[in-house]
Amino acid sequence: MVKKLIGYRKTYKIKASVPGRRYVSVGMPYEIVERESANRNMTVPEFLANFVAVAEYDNFDGVHYTFQEAEGLTQE
């Protein structure tokens, strides 16, 4: 039997807009949040304050998250 190792060190709570619902919080692995904030030349706290995770699903297995600026997004 092969052991699967989980490489996550830490998670952050981030708002996620889910189609047909209001906002919910999801845990994002630290590495993802750190990479996305670095790609945008932002600190992690700046990224968390200015972006939301958008869940995309329905026509494929699983959920795919993208990040969009929070400004201008409205709750449904």
Q: What local confidence, expressed as pLDDT, does residue 76 receive?
A: 46
- Confidence (pLDDT) at 1: 58
Residues 6+ apart with CB under 8 A from 19: 55, 76
| Low-confidence stretches of the chain (pLDDT beneath 70) | 1-18, 21-24, 72-76
Residues 33, 12 contacting (CB under 8 angstroms): yes
Is residue 30 within 8 A of residue 14, CB to CB? The reply is no
